[in-house]
Amino acid sequence: MRLRGKIALISGGARGIGAAQARLFAEEGATHVALADRDEATANDTADLVRASGAGASVHVFDVTDEQSVAVFVDRVVADQGRIHSAFNNAGISHPSVPFHELAREA
């Protein structure tokens, strides 16, 4: 249980790699996994799987392209859990479609 007592947050945590990582954090002993995604229903399904693995879970629905929403998410998790030990930034943002090294921060 390498993550015993740890608090993790995952953007893009509803499905795919994010959901798999959420389950892994729980299986490795995380106390709480905070899931951020735009898809509330699927994020709730993933949160149920996390809870079934023994960790607490919370769902936060917002668009990660909105910096203010990301700040509110982080502040909320810290307020509720006391701190964050790990952040898995998994949410994909693909607009505009340009090579990664050419992306502007505002994109």
pLDDT higher for 19 or 95?
A: 19
Confidence (pLDDT) at 100: 63
Stretch 42-64: mean pLDDT: 96
pLDDT above 70: percentage of residues in the chain: 89
Looking at residue 65, what is its pLDDT? 87
The answer, yes or no, to whether residue 107 has pLDDT greater than 50, is no
For residue 89, the number of C-alpha atoms closer than 13 Å in the C-beta half-sphere is 6
| Phi, psi dihedral angles at 8 (to 5 degrees) | -125, 150
What pLDDT, in 10s, does the model give residues 9-48?
Answer: 999 999 999 999 999 999 999 999 999 999 999 999 999 9
3-state secondary structure of 11: strand
Number of helical (H) and strand (E) elements in the chain, helices listed first:
3, 4
Distance of alpha carbon 35 from alpha carbon 98, whole angstroms: 28
